[in-house]
Structure 1
Amino acid sequence: MPFAVYMLALAVFAQGTSEFMLAGLVPDIAGDLSVSIPAAGNLTSAFALGMIIGAPLMAILSLRRPRRRALLIFLITFLLVHIVGAVTTSYAVLLATRVIAALANAGFLAVALTTAGALVAGGAKGRVTSVLLGGVTVACVAGVPGGALLGQVWGWRAAFWAVAAVSVPAVVAILRSVPAGPPPSAGTSARRELRALRDTRLLTTLLLGALVNGGTFCAFTFLAPLLTEVGGIGEVWVPALLALFGLGSFAGVTAGGRFADARPRRMVLGGGGALAAGWALFALTAGNPVPAVVLVPVLAALSFAVGSTLIARALYAAPTAPTLAGGFATAAFNVGGALGPWAGGLAIGAGLGFRSPLWVSAGLVALALIAAIVSGFGRPVRESRPHSAATGL
């Protein structure tokens, strides 16, 4: 694996920390800014909405810029808005910084997925995707619990300062390790690449990715109040349980990288079925801290194994969109990131309690399984079909 891929993963680590760290900061932000917990949870949805809009849009805007320059512009913008977020006392301003940070993050990840894919052999997109998403899972292991701990000791703003600080070495690393290269627009156009969205296999994969990741984001966003209010776990233990989630997600994304290139159907259908059942089991046993300690890493592993596999398959399913493929995959991932917390917040706001996001997660994954079966996702593809070996769908 080229060294530059790992440097891209370092930047993804900083961005993943920002995207997920609110799971441990929601109660503190709500109290400090005098908003409700569902409103504070909407900061995650706002970030995800920015990712959805920004992924294809920023990828298009970067077509005529060398990839290294585009990556640096996105990352520096991301760094600066976190400084603004760390000093603001306004919920509206914080919400705006989350959207801008998401646009920068989306552009970075879309270009990074395409750049990394171009640095490896054509049949290794699953592995390179797992390395990049490994930056997100390391964020869950170290960055998110670290942010929660900083929030407990020095307040939630310290976590925003930490993300800005971690982004600085990532800027230097990308400047030194990623090849400058020419703009990726030669021989392609945004209009031609957007035509890839006519492919029903790509659309199906994006839909499945959105639903599965919706379940992940729904449960994860409200994990802290679930553990403390329902499970009776002390706040001091929340960072440790978030770290368990991160360890599970790292194991899952690693497994996804191994199977995404060879056995995607088995991973999606088998893993998805286990995931839906697991979210339901968690909802039933959430009042007992022992099952929670076991289920948090297991469900994280299943979520990221299935989710990363679907992202990799989206890259395979868009061979005619070499620049926007990363944007499509990033957008799908974050459609779930917006849908999940929004649906979970609605359930909590309706008075259904902090268990309700887990039931929402189970329902979203179940919908993904139904869609996969109806669309024939699990059926073998005839070898005579164009690029069937590449898609594996």
Structure 2
Amino acid sequence: MPFVLYLLALVVFAMGTSEFMLSGLVQDIAADFDVPVGTAGTLTSAFAVGMVVGAPFMAAITRRLPVRGSLLAFILLFAAAHIVGATTSDFTVLVVTRMVAAFVNAGFLAVALTASSRLVGPTKKGRAVAVLLAGTTVATVAGVPAGAALGAAWGWQSTFWAIAVLCVPAVVGVAIGFNPRLAGATDEERVPELTSELAQLAAPRLLVVMILAALVNAGTFAALTFLAPVATDVAGLGRSWVPIVLVLFGIGSFAGVMIAGRLSDRRPRPVLVIGGALLIVGWVGLAVTSSSPTAFLCLVFVQGVLSFGVGSTLITRVLYAAGAAPTMGGSYATAALNVGAVAGPIAGAMALTTPLGLTGPVWVAAIASGLALLIAIPAMGLIAPRGIRSDGLAESRP
């Protein structure tokens, strides 16, 4: 894999830490702003709204601009949003900063995903996605627990400041190490008209796989956003266990992404069908056995593997299905995943008020994953046709 992919993964690590860090900070933010935990959890949805809107918008306005300049601008704006968020005492302002941060995060990820598919060629998109998403999973392993620990020691604001500081080496790395020619970003003759790329959204293969990605991610975010209260109030673990729980989920998600990176290009069917079925069973098992600390901790790891393994495979399938939209394909993947990230925490917050209580979001994850599998099985011939290897041209046909 080209070294530049690992530089992009460093940035994804910083942004992933920001995206997921609220899992360990929701209770502290709720107490500080005197709002319900469910309301504080909607900060995750605010971030996801920015991702959904920002991905296609930012990809569209930067599609003919130099890739390196666009990426650097995204990182600097991202840092600025976190500085404002760390210094505000108004919950509404905090929500706005999360949306702004998400907006530029979406732009960065959309451009980075598109560039990565050019860097590695038409048959290795899954491996490129795995490298980028490794940044996200490392964020759940190291960044998010570290943020939770910082928040516990010096307040949740310290985590926001840490994210801003982490952007500094990311800026230096992209400025020095990214060669825009490697991604073909300046070759305007290869960029089709925007209307032509947007028209690909009507292609059945692309539409179906985007729906699947949204459903799987909705389940993941519904459960992950409220994982800390389940750990402390249902499993009976102390607050000091929250970072450990997030580390377990992060290690599992890293393993899932790495496994999917090897399989999603050439063997997507087993990942989607078998992995999807196991994902449902795992969410149900987590909801039923969450009062047992041992079962809870084991299943948190397993669900990290399964949710990110299936999810990253779906990202890869979006990129293949959007082959005729070379500058917008990354934004379609980003938007699809974050539609789920908007709906998931909202549905999870609503489930908290039902008799299911704190395990309600986990049941939401099971239902969303079940719907995805019900759609995927009869549509598998469309999503991943048998006998068609990932040669780019075959996969890009709608």
> TM-score when scaled to structure 1?
0.97
For residue 339 of structure 2, what is the aligned residue in structure 1? 335
**Matched residue type, 1:347:** A
2:89 counterpart of 1:96:
no
Query: What is the CA–CA distance in structure 1 between the aligned matches of 2:397 and 2:227, rounded to whole Å?
Result: 34
2:288 counterpart of 1:284:
yes
Count of aligned pairs: 393
Instruction: Report deviation, 1:392.
Output: 11
* Kept in 2: contact 1:109–1:326 (CA 8 A): yes
**Matched residue type, 1:222:** F
**Matched residue type, 1:37:** V
Query: What is the CA–CA distance in structure 2 between the aligned matches of 1:184 and 1:75, rounded to whole Å?
Result: 23
For residue 29 of structure 2, what is the aligned residue in structure 1? 29
Which residues in structure 2 correspond to 1:65-214 (within 5 Å)?
A: 65-181=65-181, 183=186, 185-186=188-189, 187-214=191-218
Give the direction of change, closer, same or farther, for the CA distance of 1:212–1:320 in structure 2 (3 Å limit): same
For residue 247 of structure 2, what is the aligned residue in structure 1? 243
Q: After the TM superposition, which of the residue ranges 174-183 and 338-347 deviates more from structure 2? A: 174-183
The share of aligned pairs that are identical, in percent, is 51
* Kept in 1: contact 2:122–2:392 (CA 8 A): no
For residue 374 of structure 2, what is the aligned residue in structure 1? 370
Query: What is the CA–CA distance in structure 2 between the aligned matches of 1:356 and 1:383, rounded to whole Å?
Result: 40
Query: What is the CA–CA distance in structure 2 between the aligned matches of 1:387 and 1:8, rounded to whole Å?
Result: 23
Measured against aligned partners, the alpha-carbon deviations of 1:307-339 in whole angstroms (never above 9, x if no partner) come to: 000000100111110000000000111111111
Give the direction of change, closer, same or farther, for the CA distance of 1:146–1:316 in structure 2 (3 Å limit): same
* Kept in 1: contact 2:142–2:247 (CA 8 A): yes
Query: What is the CA–CA distance in structure 1 between the aligned matches of 2:384 and 2:159, rounded to whole Å?
Result: 46
For residue 326 of structure 1, what is the aligned residue in structure 2? 330
Instruction: Report deviation, 1:118.
Output: 1.1
Q: After TM superposition, what 4+ stretches of structure 1 lie above 6 angstroms from structure 2?
A: none
* Kept in 2: contact 1:210–1:336 (CA 8 A): yes
Query: What is the CA–CA distance in structure 2 between the aligned matches of 1:184 and 1:36, rounded to whole Å?
Result: 51
Measured against aligned partners, the alpha-carbon deviations of 1:192-244 in whole angstroms (never above 9, x if no partner) come to: 11111111001111111110111111100000001101110000111011111
2:237 paired residue among 233, 236, 246:
233
**Matched residue type, 1:93:** V
Measured against aligned partners, the alpha-carbon deviations of 1:132-152 in whole angstroms (never above 9, x if no partner) come to: 000000000000000000010
> What is the aligned-residue RMSD (CA, Å)?
1.8
Gaps of 5+ in 2: none
Which residues in structure 2 correspond to 1:51-70 (within 5 Å)?
A: 51-70=51-70
For residue 395 of structure 2, what is the aligned residue in structure 1? 390
Instruction: Report deviation, 1:245.
Output: 0.6
* Kept in 2: contact 1:71–1:108 (CA 8 A): yes
Query: What is the CA–CA distance in structure 2 between the aligned matches of 1:249 and 1:90, rounded to whole Å?
Result: 34
Which residues in structure 2 correspond to 1:350-361 (within 5 Å)?
A: 350-361=354-365
**Matched residue type, 2:159:** A
* Kept in 1: contact 2:354–2:360 (CA 8 A): no
Query: What is the CA–CA distance in structure 2 between the aligned matches of 1:16 and 1:280, rounded to whole Å?
Result: 26
2:268 counterpart of 1:264:
yes
Query: What is the CA–CA distance in structure 2 between the aligned matches of 1:61 and 1:392, rounded to whole Å?
Result: 25
Instruction: Report deviation, 1:185.
Output: 4.5
Query: What is the CA–CA distance in structure 2 between the aligned matches of 1:22 and 1:103, rounded to whole Å?
Result: 17
* Kept in 2: contact 1:280–1:359 (CA 8 A): yes
Measured against aligned partners, the alpha-carbon deviations of 1:275-299 in whole angstroms (never above 9, x if no partner) come to: 0011001100011101011001111
Measured against aligned partners, the alpha-carbon deviations of 1:99-136 in whole angstroms (never above 9, x if no partner) come to: 00000000000000111111112100000000000000
**Matched residue type, 2:262:** R
Give the direction of change, closer, same or farther, for the CA distance of 1:383–1:107 in structure 2 (3 Å limit): closer
**Matched residue type, 1:32:** D
* Kept in 2: contact 1:69–1:180 (CA 8 A): no
Gaps of 5+ in 1: none
Which residues in structure 2 correspond to 1:33-52 (within 5 Å)?
A: 33-52=33-52
**Matched residue type, 1:154:** W
> TM-score when scaled to structure 2?
0.95
Give the direction of change, closer, same or farther, for the CA distance of 1:380–1:324 in structure 2 (3 Å limit): closer
Query: What is the CA–CA distance in structure 2 between the aligned matches of 1:351 and 1:274, rounded to whole Å?
Result: 26
Query: What is the CA–CA distance in structure 1 between the aligned matches of 2:59 and 2:384, rounded to whole Å?
Result: 32
Which residues in structure 2 correspond to 1:278-317 (within 5 Å)?
A: 278-317=282-321
**Matched residue type, 2:23:** A
The DSSP-based 3-state class of the residue aligned with 1:355 is helix
